């Protein structure tokens, strides 16, 4: 049997077997942990040093590397699937863990390319003038923390659990040390090997700990951080580590929570939503054999519908075939270990002190497949608690398996109150047909939840499911759910960056942020900026255009061309009574006229204008006013892209200001262009 290896300081460590890790399907040993001790001081000092090298790459380059890793894992996913079967996972479960894992890398790669700059300083505007004459201003920057991120993960998602944390950490430019849960660490080890084999994982970006973390947490420093997924009790123990507290080392926890599903009183058995609801509850109970931090544990239903819902769920759950995922037709695999099976059985017995069994506790239950009598199997259990107003019981006990408890309510307010008795959850699904019910319940539920899904017949056509955390949406809940936050798009990258307020002159702020800041010294050349290639263009490079006097003919022509005959431009009497007291030009005419002032029309390095941001029309422009534009190179982003015909190009964002004859700004915006790089 293989001995798993840790990956520490760039080397694989581990020869002698220690703990045997049994298959959840048949109890046979899949791998051993290693006996050799890890030198955590060495791992940290290597991580910190190598981390500096990670900053030789910028946000954009790391996003590209993430994509390369994702592609490699995708190509080799079958190797992970084969191993993962031993954790008790079905093919569908592997889809969540393994495809969900590299899918998260893909998502972060593309979010990084779209939303992060070149370089390693992320400017979080706006710039706020702090003096009367714009000599002193303030803004915020986010920069990579100088330490190492330690990620401690749960057993249920050995691949996704690692990658959903690695992706934003790596993108942020922080090295990490990953410690998977021991029982399923053989799958994580295989995934780390693939990442290394991909050739896209820079040295030191990732270290892997098989087994315990020893004195690792005691050695962490102020620039390091810890993220944790697992039980609330371990979270409490680890976050109370004296060293972490003394040094204010950030600790992000995602712990077990008692998520719920609420069927609103407007949904009756004859409605499509009744079935949709039952299907969602049953699916969440059996996916990953209920070992999902997001799984539905409590089901709230109006008291008039309790029997109908229990019948429906009984029917669905009764059809679920449980056993070796390799057996055709099996829908639910095993729990991750015999220890988990013991825990889940004990929790069910506790729950039964305040509830009755609707389905489960079946003496004749036998999982399908050879050898499964030694596996960690359990059949779905649906319980019914008729005293939901009492604390404890199903509001408190999490059976981390295919177990849920139905609870009746009388009023909508009660449903919200009962859901809140979980003391903070990752997610709740509310099924209603009535938008007014949704608008009443969701804001009341939100303080107790990290995510809320509304499921009706329309949403069900495309729903990604109650239990699926998505890279673009926040994952993590308040209170018992750990109080942490993961994913949520680029927000997750921010967790690994230090936000710092900076104050100074516009020149200084521009130099630091790598962006033009209004008031900074401009660079003006004889060559039009549109005639310069991406590499040559400089931040603050600027063009002041010639002027143009706006005439009534302009307004009439623009109105006829666009079909916009709004009274403000065409009805002299009405315009005189308006707040401007006179006819004014279309704002979009001012935009178009400004483009006419600043473009250099001949074909050139500026290839295309693909957008406009932060547009404000500040003052009206009337016939007789004379406008002039200033175009300034604000931001350059090198995404390593090439045009469809194969020419390398970059993104240039231009600051545009349009002034009138009195020097008053009338319009302000950013335009986004693609600019060719120099021919090689
Ligand atoms: P634990 O909280 O015991 O373990 C989670 C992680 O923490 C594992 O990697 C574990 O490593 C590690 N760990 C445990 N103790 C320490 C320690 N003293 N120092 C450093 N690391 C430590 O959870 P389990 O995996 O045992 O699951 C127990 C229960 O937690 C489940 O039954 C379920 O209720 C809940 N859970 C919640 C999850 C969620 O996503 N919110 C996910 C999984 C479980 P090791 O494996 O080596 O012990």
Query: What are the tens digits of pLDDT across the range 222-273?
Result: 999 999 999 988 999 999 999 999 999 999 999 889 999 999 999 999 999 9
User: What was the pLDDT predicted at 640?
Assistant: 81
User: What is the per-residue pLDDT across 358-399, written as a single tens digit (0 to 9) for each?
Assistant: 999 888 889 999 889 889 999 999 999 999 999 999 999 999
CB of 188 shorter than 6 A to ligand 1: no
399 C-alpha to ligand 1 centroid (Å): 14
CB of 18 shorter than 6 A to ligand 1: no
183 C-alpha to ligand 1 centroid (Å): 10
CB of 214 shorter than 6 A to ligand 1: no
Cα–Cα distances in angstroms (integers) from residue 110 to residues 69, 176, 469, in the given order:
13, 21, 18
Q: Which sequence positions are flagged as catalytic?
A: 254, 293
User: What was the pLDDT predicted at 573?
Assistant: 96
Ligand 1 atom 9: the closest Cα is on which residue?
181
User: What was the pLDDT predicted at 26?
Assistant: 87
CB of 24 shorter than 6 A to ligand 1: no
DSSP-assigned states of every residue in 307-357? HHHHHHHHHHHHT--BB-TTSTT--B---S-HHHHHHHHHHHHHHTTS-EE
Test site for ligand 1: of 231, 424, 425, most ligand atoms within 8 A of the Cβ: 231
Interacting residues of 495 by C-beta distance below 8 A, sequence separation 6+: 168, 172, 225, 250, 252, 485, 486
236 C-alpha to ligand 1 centroid (Å): 11
| C-beta neighbour count of 233 within 10 angstroms | 10
181 C-alpha to ligand 1 centroid (Å): 6
User: What was the pLDDT predicted at 680?
Assistant: 76
261 C-alpha to ligand 1 centroid (Å): 25
Test site for ligand 1: of 22, 24, 100, 154, most ligand atoms within 8 A of the Cβ: 154
24 C-alpha to ligand 1 centroid (Å): 17
212 C-alpha to ligand 1 centroid (Å): 11
| Rg from Cα positions in the chain | 30
- Ligand 1 atom closest to the Cα of residue 155 is 25
| C-beta neighbour count of 356 within 10 angstroms | 11
CB of 254 shorter than 6 A to ligand 1: yes
CB of 343 shorter than 6 A to ligand 1: yes
Test site for ligand 1: of 40, 165, 181, most ligand atoms within 8 A of the Cβ: 181
Contact 593, 550 (CB under 8 A): yes
Tokens of 244: 């972490």
- Ligand 1 atom closest to the Cα of residue 231 is 30
472 C-alpha to ligand 1 centroid (Å): 25
CB of 160 shorter than 6 A to ligand 1: no
- Ligand 1 atom closest to the Cα of residue 179 is 9
Cα–Cα distances in angstroms (integers) from residue 537 to residues 174, 209, 651, 677, in the given order:
30, 46, 11, 10
- Ligand 1 atom closest to the Cα of residue 481 is 41
Ligand 1 atom 5: the closest Cα is on which residue?
230
User: What was the pLDDT predicted at 538?
Assistant: 95
234 C-alpha to ligand 1 centroid (Å): 6
CB of 181 shorter than 6 A to ligand 1: yes
DSSP-assigned states of every residue in 177-202? EEE--GGGHHHHHHHHHHHHHTT-S-
Main-chain dihedrals φ then ψ at residue 630, nearest 5 degrees: -120, 125
Interacting residues of 428 by C-beta distance below 8 A, sequence separation 6+: 259, 260, 261, 262, 419, 445, 449, 452, 453
Which residue stretches of the chain have pLDDT < 70? none
CB of 347 shorter than 6 A to ligand 1: no
User: What was the pLDDT predicted at 51?
Assistant: 81
Give 458's DSSP letter. H
- Ligand 1 atom closest to the Cα of residue 340 is 32
Q: Give SS3 for 143.
A: strand
pTM: 0.89
Ligand 1 atom 34: the closest Cα is on which residue?
400
- Ligand 1 atom closest to the Cα of residue 153 is 9
154 C-alpha to ligand 1 centroid (Å): 5
Test site for ligand 1: of 217, 233, 234, 253, most ligand atoms within 8 A of the Cβ: 234
């Amino acid at each position: 049997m293989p001995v798993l290896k840790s990956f520490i300081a760039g080397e694989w460590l581990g020869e002698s077997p220690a703990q045997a890790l049994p298959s959840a399907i048949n109890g046979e040993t899949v791998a051993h942990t290693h006996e050799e001790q890890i030198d955590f001081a060495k791992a940290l000092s290597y991580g910190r040093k190598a981390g500096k090298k990670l900053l030789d790459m910028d946000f954009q380059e790391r996003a590209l590397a993430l994509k390369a890793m994702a592609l490699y894992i995708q190509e080799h996913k079958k190797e992970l699937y084969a191993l993962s079967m031993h954790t008790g996972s079905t093919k569908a479960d592997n889809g969540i863990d393994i495809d969900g894992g590299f899918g998260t890398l893909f998502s972060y790669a593309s979010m990084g390319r779209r939303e992060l700059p070149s370089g390693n300083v992320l400017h979080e505007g706006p710039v706020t003038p702090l003096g009367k004459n714009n000599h002193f201003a303030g803004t915020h920057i986010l920069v990579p923390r100088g330490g190492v991120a330690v990620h401690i993960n749960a057993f249920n998602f050995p691949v996704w659990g690692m990658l959903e944390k690695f992706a934003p950490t790596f993108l942020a430019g922080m090295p990490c040390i990953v410690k998977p849960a021991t029982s399923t660490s053989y799958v994580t080890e295989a995934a780390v090997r693939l990442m290394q084999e991909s050739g896209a994982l820079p040295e030191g970006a990732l270290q892997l700990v098989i087994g315990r973390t020893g004195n690792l947490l005691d050695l962490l420093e102020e620039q390091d951080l810890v993220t944790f997924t697992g039980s609330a009790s371990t979270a409490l123990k680890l976050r109370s580590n004296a060293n972490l507290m003394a040094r204010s080392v950030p600790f992000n926890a995602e712990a077990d929570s008692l998520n719920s599903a609420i069927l609103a009183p407007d949904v009756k058995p004859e409605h499509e939503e009744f079935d949709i609801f039952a299907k969602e509850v049953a699916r969440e109970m059996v996916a990953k054999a209920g070992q999902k931090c997001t799984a539905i544990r409590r089901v709230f239903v109006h008291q008039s519908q309790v029997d109908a819902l229990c019948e429906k769920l009984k029917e669905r759950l009764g059809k679920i075939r449980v056993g070796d995922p390799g057996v055709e037709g099996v829908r639910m695999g095993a729990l991750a270990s015999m220890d988990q099976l013991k825990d889940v059985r004990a929790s069910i017995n506790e729950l039964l002190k305040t509830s009755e069994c609707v389905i489960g506790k079946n003496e004749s239950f036998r999982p399908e497949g050879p050898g499964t009598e030694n596996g960690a199997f359990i059949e779905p259990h649906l319980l019914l608690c008729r005293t939901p107003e009492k604390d404890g019981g199903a509001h408190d006990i999490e059976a981390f398996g295919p177990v849920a408890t139905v609870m009746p309510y009388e009023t909508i307010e009660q449903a919200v109150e009962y859901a809140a008795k979980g003391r903070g959850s990752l997610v709740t699904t509310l099924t209603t047909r009535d938008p007014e019910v949704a608008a009443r319940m969701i804001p009341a539920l939100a303080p107790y939840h990290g995510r809320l899904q509304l499921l009706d017949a329309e949403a069900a056509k495309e729903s990604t499911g109650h239990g699926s955390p998505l890279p673009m949406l926040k994952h993590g809940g308040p209170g018992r759910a750990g109080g942490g936050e993961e994913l949520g798009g680029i927000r997750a990258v921010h967790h690994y960056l230090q936000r710092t307020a900076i104050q100074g002159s516009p020149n200084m702020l521009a130099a630091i942020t790598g962006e033009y800041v209004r008031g900074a010294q401009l660079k003006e050349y004889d060559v039009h900026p549109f005639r310069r290639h991406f590499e040559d263009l400089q931040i603050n490079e600027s063009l002041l255009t010639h002027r143009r006097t706006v005439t009534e003919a302009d307004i009439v022509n623009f109105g006829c061309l666009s079909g916009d005959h709004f009274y403000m431009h065409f009805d002299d009497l009405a315009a005189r009574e308006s707040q401007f007291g006179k006819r004014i030009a279309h704002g979009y005419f001012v935009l178009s006229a400004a483009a006419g002032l600043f473009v250099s029309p001949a074909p050139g390095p500026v290839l295309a204008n693909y957008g406009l941001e932060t547009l404000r029309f500040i003052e009206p422009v009337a016939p007789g006013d004379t406008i002039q534009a200033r175009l300034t190179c604000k931001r350059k982003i090198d995404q390593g892209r090439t045009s469809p015909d194969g020419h390398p190009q970059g993104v240039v964002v231009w600051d545009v200001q349009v002034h009138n004859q009195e020097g008053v700004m009338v319009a302000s915006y950013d335009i986004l262009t693609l600019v060719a790089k120099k021919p090689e």
